[in-house]
Structure 1
Amino acid sequence: MDKQGIIEASRERREGERIFYTSCPANGCWDSACILRCHLKEGKLIAVEPDDSVNKNDSREDCGWENIWKGNVQMRPCAMGHSWKKELYAETRLLHPMKRVGKKGPGNGYFVQISWEEALDTIAEKMIEIKGKYGPYGIFHSQYPSFEKNGFPLAPWWEAGFGAWGEHSCSGHAAGEMFHLGVDMPKCARGVADNLPGFEASDIFNSKLFIMWGMDPVVAWFGPTSYYMQLAHEYGCKTIVIDPRYTQSAEILADQWIPIRPGTDLAMMLAVAQVLYEEDLIDHEFVDEWVEKDGFEEWRAYVMGEGEDGIKKTPEWAAPITAVPAETIREFARLYGTEKPVHLQYFYSCAKRHLGDYSAAAAMLLQAMTGNVACAGGCESGACLPTPGRVPAPRADFGRNPGDYTVPVLFNNNCLTEILASQKDYWEGRMSEDEFRHRIGSPTNDSPLPNIQMIIFENNYANNHSNVNRRFQGMADTEFNWGFQWHVNQPTAELCDIILPAPVWQLEGMDEYMYGHQRFVSGPNGMRNYFTFCARGCDFPGEVRSKEWVWTEIAKRLGDEVVEGYNPRMKDVPVEKWVDAQEAIYKEAFEKWADNETVMAYLGYEKRPTWEEFNANPVVRTEIDVPYYPFKNVMERGDSPFLTPSGKVEFVSNFVKNNDMTETRWRGQYEAMPVWSPSYVEGDISTASNDGFYNPKVKDYPLSLVTPVSIYRQHSSNDNNPFMREDVYRHGVWISGVDAQARGIKDGDVCRVYSDRGEAILTAYVTNRCMPGTAAIHHGGWYQTNGETSEMNAFGQDMRGTPNIFLDDGHLPHILGALIIAGLINVEKVADGDAEGYGSEAERGGMRGASVAIGTRDALAKKDGARDAAATA
């Protein structure tokens, strides 16, 4: 076939297709709202293409440096964005409401199909029953209750539910940001505070040195910021990666890779500070203006060995702790102190450990010492996320009123497992109120206390936190749970009494995304110079229905006041017209927005676009003039961005010094400045650091486990996607050649991986990309068990390999707050004969349900009869 024939054949295949634009909703792509150009034919998604809204029919690399500086680049999806088709049409897709028969938990019970009417009636009845028995704090909604709010959609009118302080991703940095810089990330996220510590992607071009400390943006930071980091390296920015693994970012971007022993980052930072002090590599102009003097001198005395411990924190002191040579630390410190500006990004992987908030704080203090914490090309080194928006987007009005109920904040966002494990002891009088409040991070001694007996799941929430065994036990022990799930074998489904089939938001229907983001999706944080309208796409398969329809139907069952508050404009819309009615309200919002001549002029529209024209090219973008750098808005107006008691960067926190931290929401002890050995630890640091090399547990669990994210999963989304699992990714335990040889393990061997919290079966990936003494298992693997319970495994051995099963979630006596993502494990080879019984990785849980049996009532009745007959025989 000649060239023209190929073109004609392609045109014929595309005849009758419809193109729509949308954006991935997967939480975790913090700085990205990637644009997906989707092709639909005969009701089926046939292709997903990258963004073509700028630099049409050409690659973004050819758009020129000037346009790149201005943010005029394509917002291309990653491999996962292109793989959503397999989520839509997966064999395991949940297509009908289902009810559990038997007890909750893996290995218990099974599901039968029920009608929507039965599902909704049962859910509403149980909600009323549980609120009546346990009060408004007996119902917990899992849609990220962080930032001191709750995602429970009906809370303002039904007056139930509660929120949490803190959040997941930046939780390891929160204490350092708040105590030393006066940055309250939740307030920034809610728009209550405007001392925004983030940066826009193109500001990276202003940096002369880029330090990725525990950061792997090529894999872990999807979207334009990662792309800009790669361009900056090509542009000449020197790049250093500090990480126990030789990551893809180290391979692609680094001029130098410095391997470091996990959990020892603070020791290296203290040694860097010692060199900066000793060789006077300090930005005195910045320090004089913006740093509180007494605390600066107190930390200097500690670092220089003039404090109580009398130990000078030299590179020679840090070298045996960190496994980084003293000469390397010293030369790194000199380079860091003489280059400016420096973008030092200390990432979540290091901060979300036991005592990781000290090292997170130290990273911010290093940036303050060198004047890099608030300048073009610099980095605050904490959350680094919030930046001001640049593009006014439409806002659809569904007529909701605010309601009279203020959702109370009852606990720390990462202490749900602790609530579920200890609430029964408290309410039945076996635990004191003070102990319960300390365990859960109760914000005040007057805050109401929860007694959770219903969990509403919006996602795979049960799977994605530490101490999975304990977490699942607590969730299975509640009276009634329900939620939305994509797949029948999703781990969280095991904890539900009713599961509802969930739409894939960006491709089916027109529901809001997570956190109440409407279909006008703005680029969050790293590139906030655009938004895209996520149009209606595929029809719902099977009996899948809009989540907002579900909530409206439940609201009707809870009372007229509830449904009038939640969805007055759509309460009477029949289900078959639901998406049309949603689209009409979005069209109304667009037309009101397009009638604003000021907005149209600002965005460069020569004439008012029609709804049809807008849908054909629904990406609205403006140029970045000067990229945002940390605190730029506040500093330019002459105010202090550091909302500490002194109004400056506090190397010694006045808040900590002047408060009994055990009586604050943090509920534990904390040093006023980053120190290697906290005073509340008896003996050495090992007593409190449950995931460190100096913990006595190392005798039994000698490998330090890190749990990096994967390019093949977004949290746990896509772990069931064959595009992402089959032939492209092997989920296993990374182990160094040295550690593997000592255990007689070869690459590909089936291994038992275990800690004092749980165990799993995984294949070994033997690699010298992982330094000795360290292991790695990628985050997001699904928890699916063999059903054989034991003292260690309440629901059986994990056959698929979630790293969260190994991780301890205890903090006290240290403060609460961080979501722990590191731990201590051991790895042993499964005997060859025994390994055959485990089968392949896919057979151990790749694409099958763990313990649920799905079918009709009649089929399951026959199965029950056969089971009973077998038992009798």
Structure 2
Amino acid sequence: MKPTPDWIKNILNPGRRSFMKTAAAGAALSAAGGLVELATQKKEAQAFAYAPHYTDDQLTTVVTSCDHNCGSRHMLVAHKKGDVIVRLSTDDGRYQENGSFGKDTAEEPQLRACLRGRSYRARLYSPERLLYPMMRVGKRGEGKFKRVSWNEALDFIAKKMIELKKNYGPTAMLDQAYAGTSYGALHKSDQIEGLLARFLGMFGCRTNSWSVPSYQGTTFSSRMTFGTIEDGNEDDAFAHSKLIIMWGWNPAYTFHGGNTFYYMRLAKQNGCKFVLIDPQYTDSAATYDAWWIPIKPNTDAAMLAAMAHVIFSENLHDQKFIDKFCQGMDAGTMPEWAKGHENFKDYIFGKSDDTPKTPEWAEQICGVKAADIVKLARMYATTKPAALKASWGPGRNAYGEQYNRMAAAVQAMTGNIGILGGCAEGVGKGWHAESVAYPYDENANLWWASIKSDRWAHCVLNYPNVKREEIGCWPRDDELDGKIPNIKGIWWHGSDWFNQLTNINKEIKAIEKLELVVCADSTITPSGLWADVLLPVATHFERHDVALPWYKGHYYIHRPKTIAPMGESKTDFQIFTELAYRLEALDPSLKDFGRRYNPRADRSYFDNDDAVDEAYLVAWWKKVQDHQGVTMSWEEFKRRGVYKFKFDKPLVAFREQIEEGEPFPTPSGKIEIFSTTLAQVKDWTKTQYGYPIPAIPKWIEPFESLNHPKVKQFPFHLITPHPRWRTHSIFNNIPWLRETYQQEITLAASDAARLGIVTGDIVEVWNDRGRCVVPAYVTERCMPGVAVLHEGVWMDLDKNGVDRAGNPDFLTLDEPSPAGAFAYNTILVNVKKTQLEHRPGWDSLVTARSIVFRRDT
């Protein structure tokens, strides 16, 4: 073949010569024929750099929702061509009853999805999507699997479950379900109401995980103080606040309600003032021009105690409210049977320990100037109504329950509970959804042992030489009370807990001792890499259900089966039903297990669930109509896709108690600053808490803090807040979201300068529990001595066990508070520049370019 002449090269690459020379060459080529049209004649383009978007009239539009516990579940609108979703949009006002395009009111706000929800198509069609049953062929954690049939996978699991139950007893299987990615009215993953809990309970072999990672300290506080975790106003009440204190709360990242920002914007427009107490200056603080009060992590209870001291000392408390509604706030509100016990006011003034909890005392602990504590206390006590929003993050600490209880005491002493614009929030759950469509009966939450969720590895590694208080054994009234569970298998359902619980290195040691690990998920997660069997679960786009608001919001969203299940994926309900039939065939004592587990179905449900799911949801909607006064028919609900409740006035927690005199659901019928339940415990080792908890809120020194002697070796206090671009570990593998942000450790500028670190440098973060590698981000928006590393990134271990992705749970301590609060934010670490490898994700720098951009700036 002859080489291409230069004059033809010049035509095909006109940048090499001037236009005039190229035109001349083109004329010469014209005389020769051949390529002349390329150079000289116009022709309509026949190709595009990208495929043109389909127009709406070419697509089918289906209303559905998000599926995760990010603080809400917003509307998604799937636009599909055939059986493929080609794009996602969200609520624009037209879908609800009497809706129209653009409708968006305080009574019926739009349920607009965030960037995470809008990116869901990338998750649905992700390379990490799990489409077929898989079984491990390599070592645990090596990530080597082979594809198998459903028969092979389920037969293996069924036989192994029978074997474990026979050999090790009714505690051999550990339930680690959570509301990660299978949470609806029917297809529900949950620790208590979930499908797995009922399945293992009916099977007769289940150890329960009883503490909730997100807010166990807060849950405890709410139950001890108010008698319920439904202690939160709906977010429309924020619009009426004159002061909002965001204590450890960053609603720009963690919504805590579907339309939180909408109502807070209304409050700002009405003149509301904002305060942020947090180790870092957050985007929420910037949005609302908040007064930022930096505080040392894990010292919040001390600052709140000092605020109480100011309020009492200056007679700013609401004594009438205290006398009428509180127990144990002062000597006059103590019950007769507890006259010898300490009350809250006496503790604050130091009558028993000779330590008045003054602002000067607190300044030495929490690093907040005494003058600022006085100013904030006066501001809060003299502004009505005021919302002290005590968020969950500061409660994810050693003795985090004391922070929550102290916040509740300060809320109560100022009379800001049960009033519009105030705030009683601990857990803060608002309006109650009708949440269960599948069978929920006496079998729903059976267990033969129940331990604190993040103590399973400690239990497995030290069995049987474990004290019940070490693992938080829940008391029973039978011969199994206090018996240490002999855990030999784990089932992960709707959870990525191996990646998300504390002290991952300890989990790695423990999982080697197990005989069965099952992971049921729609995505191959880091937890899945440590499993023996992977079961592909249909996403919420591929099954019929109804979305429930999580935490706050008063609405229901219909979730039709938008597309057919991809690959060989099945719903959780199908999997457990089929397994129940297989188990009953192996064990005569499990007679009719399949039919009892799913009474509306026979075994054909595994291949066709449509009619059965519809029947469950129709019956559930009848309960919604009967219990909540909904008049919309099921068919109309399906047609529109959403039902939004309208109320005459904002929903305020405990309005009935304050305005109408109804008792609080506590033993005394009052707000219990002095807890009847805690004061009457005789033997703490025989409670689920294991160790003493004071009857009134108190400041207790944490395991680790900037005031601890270990700070000489590990000078940074690490906190691990939730990121905006993930929901825990969900969405970590979405390239769109990683282009906006890369996992990185935030350092104060003064600390970084001392260590010679600039933004983009790769650093090691380590302590005596583990080590991870991550880029640094340097800013003035972080308190010196504090480092910030967001939770949830997918672990990636090198041959020496160093995490190259920057997962902070290699550094956390698996020692929870007595009340069960996870110590996710009680971490001392050291930081230095490193040559160790950093790997930002499974698709690496191909798409995740944010670190490159940051380094260039």
SS of residue in 1 equivalent to 2:498? helix
Matching residue's letter, 1:215? W
Are residue 819 (structure 1) and residue 816 (structure 2) matched? no
* Structure 2 counterparts to residues 690-701 of structure 1, below 5 A: 690-701=703-714
Q: Note the C-alpha offset of 1:156.
A: 4.7
Of 433, 439, 457, the residue aligned with 1:420 is: 457
Q: Note the C-alpha offset of 1:776.
A: 0.5
> Deviation digits for residues 550-594 of structure 1, max 9, x if unmatched?
222211111151111122433232655x24334542675489689
> Deviation digits for residues 476-517 of structure 1, max 9, x if unmatched?
3211111213333x210122111112222x21122xxxxxxx
Does the Cα contact within 8 Å between 2:815 and 2:822 map onto a contact in 1? no
Q: Note the C-alpha offset of 1:172.
A: 1.5
Are residue 276 (structure 1) and residue 301 (structure 2) matched? no
Give the aligned partner of residue 26 of structure 2.
Answer: none
* Structure 2 counterparts to residues 694-709 of structure 1, below 5 A: 694-709=707-722
Give the aligned partner of residue 120 of structure 1.
Answer: 154
Give the aligned partner of residue 13 of structure 1.
Answer: 55
Does the Cα contact within 8 Å between 1:102 and 1:109 map onto a contact in 2? yes
SS of residue in 2 equivalent to 1:45? strand
Q: 1:728 to 1:821 in 2, by over 3 A?
A: same
Give the distance between the partners of 1:277 and 1:821, measured in 2 at CA. 33
Are residue 318 (structure 1) and residue 362 (structure 2) matched? yes
TM normalised by structure 1 equals 0.82
TM normalised by structure 2 equals 0.83
Q: 1:475 to 1:380 in 2, by over 3 A?
A: farther
> Deviation digits for residues 499-552 of structure 1, max 9, x if unmatched?
112222x21122xxxxxxxx2333345222x21211111222222222222222
Of 764, 776, 783, the residue aligned with 1:771 is: 783
Matching residue's letter, 1:426? Y
Give the aligned partner of residue 565 of structure 2.
Answer: 540
Q: 1:258 to 1:404 in 2, by over 3 A?
A: closer
Q: Note the C-alpha offset of 1:271.
A: 1.4
Q: Note the C-alpha offset of 1:161.
A: 1.7
Give the distance between the partners of 1:349 and 1:422, measured in 2 at CA. 26
Q: 1:439 to 1:765 in 2, by over 3 A?
A: same
* Structure 2 counterparts to residues 156-195 of structure 1, below 5 A: 156-179=201-224, 181-185=225-229
Q: 1:409 to 1:116 in 2, by over 3 A?
A: closer
Give the aligned partner of residue 35 of structure 2.
Answer: none
| Higher mean displacement: 756-765 or 479-488 | 479-488
Q: 1:753 to 1:59 in 2, by over 3 A?
A: farther
Give the distance between the partners of 1:547 and 1:441, measured in 2 at CA. 28
Of 565, 574, 577, the residue aligned with 1:549 is: 574
Give the aligned partner of residue 477 of structure 1.
Answer: 513
SS of residue in 2 equivalent to 1:250? helix
Matching residue's letter, 2:781? R
SS of residue in 1 equivalent to 2:604? coil
Matching residue's letter, 2:580? A
Give the aligned partner of residue 94 of structure 1.
Answer: 130
% of aligned pairs identical?
Answer: 30
Q: 1:729 to 1:329 in 2, by over 3 A?
A: same
Give the distance between the partners of 1:587 and 1:671, measured in 2 at CA. 45
* Structure 2 counterparts to residues 102-113 of structure 1, below 5 A: 102-105=138-141, 108=142, 110-113=144-147
> Deviation digits for residues 588-643 of structure 1, max 9, x if unmatched?
5489689x7x899x5565xxx583x5433121223111222122344555322151
Q: 1:420 to 1:238 in 2, by over 3 A?
A: same
Give the distance between the partners of 1:47 and 1:603, measured in 2 at CA. 32
Larger gyration radius, structure 1 or structure 2: 2
Matching residue's letter, 1:313? K
* Structure 2 counterparts to residues 583-602 of structure 1, below 5 A: 584-585=614-615, 588-589=618-619
Give the distance between the partners of 2:121 and 2:536, measured in 1 at CA. 17
Give the aligned partner of residue 164 of structure 2.
Answer: 130
Are residue 407 (structure 1) and residue 443 (structure 2) matched? no
Of 236, 240, 245, the residue aligned with 1:202 is: 236
Matching residue's letter, 1:623? K
Does the Cα contact within 8 Å between 1:656 and 1:672 map onto a contact in 2? yes
> Deviation digits for residues 754-801 of structure 1, max 9, x if unmatched?
121111110001111111000001111111211x13xxxxxx111111
* Structure 2 counterparts to residues 15-164 of structure 1, below 5 A: 15-29=57-71, 32-52=72-92, 53-54=95-96, 58-59=101-102, 63=104, 67-68=105-106, 70=107, 72-105=108-141, 108=142, 110-144=144-178, 146=191, 151-164=196-209
Matching residue's letter, 2:679? K
Matching residue's letter, 1:739? D
Give the distance between the partners of 1:593 and 1:16, measured in 2 at CA. 38
Give the distance between the partners of 2:627 and 2:685, measured in 1 at CA. 50
Q: Note the C-alpha offset of 1:39.
A: 0.8
Of 387, 402, 425, the residue aligned with 1:358 is: 402
Give the distance between the partners of 1:11 and 1:728, measured in 2 at CA. 24
Q: Note the C-alpha offset of 1:388.
A: 4.0
Q: 1:40 to 1:404 in 2, by over 3 A?
A: closer
SS of residue in 2 equivalent to 1:151? helix
Are residue 581 (structure 1) and residue 611 (structure 2) matched? yes
Matching residue's letter, 2:77? R
> Deviation digits for residues 441-495 of structure 1, max 9, x if unmatched?
333582554211111111312111111111232223211111213333x210122
Does the Cα contact within 8 Å between 2:757 and 2:776 map onto a contact in 1? yes
Give the distance between the partners of 1:173 and 1:403, measured in 2 at CA. 28
Q: 1:733 to 1:599 in 2, by over 3 A?
A: closer
Are residue 493 (structure 1) and residue 555 (structure 2) matched? no
Give the aligned partner of residue 564 of structure 1.
Answer: 595
Q: Note the C-alpha offset of 1:124.
A: 0.9
Are residue 453 (structure 1) and residue 488 (structure 2) matched? yes
SS of residue in 1 equivalent to 2:316? coil
* Structure 2 counterparts to residues 762-801 of structure 1, below 5 A: 762-786=774-798, 788-789=799-800, 796-801=801-806
Does the Cα contact within 8 Å between 2:397 and 2:824 map onto a contact in 1? yes
Give the aligned partner of residue 348 of structure 1.
Answer: 392
Matching residue's letter, 1:769? R
For the aligned residue pairs, the C-alpha RMSD in angstroms reads: 2.9
Give the distance between the partners of 2:215 and 2:167, measured in 1 at CA. 36
Q: 1:336 to 1:88 in 2, by over 3 A?
A: same
Of 262, 276, 297, the residue aligned with 1:227 is: 262
Q: 1:252 to 1:45 in 2, by over 3 A?
A: same
| Higher mean displacement: 16-25 or 730-739 | 16-25
Give the aligned partner of residue 193 of structure 1.
Answer: none
Give the distance between the partners of 1:141 and 1:312, measured in 2 at CA. 46
* Structure 2 counterparts to residues 576-655 of structure 1, below 5 A: 576=607, 578-582=608-612, 584-585=614-615, 588-589=618-619, 603=630, 611=635, 613-635=636-658, 637-641=660-664, 643-644=666-667, 646-655=668-677
SS of residue in 2 equivalent to 1:302? helix
Instruction: Name structure 2 gaps, 5 residues minimum.
Output: 1-50, 179-189, 335-341, 585-590, 849-857
Matching residue's letter, 1:362? M
Give the aligned partner of residue 685 of structure 2.
Answer: 662
Give the distance between the partners of 1:405 and 1:674, measured in 2 at CA. 34
* Structure 2 counterparts to residues 378-393 of structure 1, below 5 A: 378-389=422-433
Q: 1:406 to 1:722 in 2, by over 3 A?
A: closer
Q: 1:352 to 1:599 in 2, by over 3 A?
A: closer
Give the distance between the partners of 1:591 and 1:225, measured in 2 at CA. 27
Does the Cα contact within 8 Å between 1:155 and 1:405 map onto a contact in 2? no
Does the Cα contact within 8 Å between 2:206 and 2:449 map onto a contact in 1? no
Q: Note the C-alpha offset of 1:103.
A: 2.8
Q: 1:642 to 1:121 in 2, by over 3 A?
A: closer
Q: 1:149 to 1:85 in 2, by over 3 A?
A: closer
Q: 1:255 to 1:405 in 2, by over 3 A?
A: closer
> Deviation digits for residues 800-845 of structure 1, max 9, x if unmatched?
111111111214xx624112211334344444xx35x546666769
Q: Note the C-alpha offset of 1:718.
A: 0.2
SS of residue in 1 equivalent to 2:377? helix
Are residue 672 (structure 1) and residue 698 (structure 2) matched? no
Give the distance between the partners of 1:378 and 1:562, measured in 2 at CA. 50
Give the aligned partner of residue 213 of structure 1.
Answer: 247
Q: Note the C-alpha offset of 1:135.
A: 1.6
SS of residue in 2 equivalent to 1:218? coil
SS of residue in 1 equivalent to 2:541? coil
Give the aligned partner of residue 189 of structure 1.
Answer: none
Does the Cα contact within 8 Å between 1:139 and 1:160 map onto a contact in 2? yes
Q: 1:50 to 1:250 in 2, by over 3 A?
A: same
Give the distance between the partners of 2:560 and 2:768, measured in 1 at CA. 48
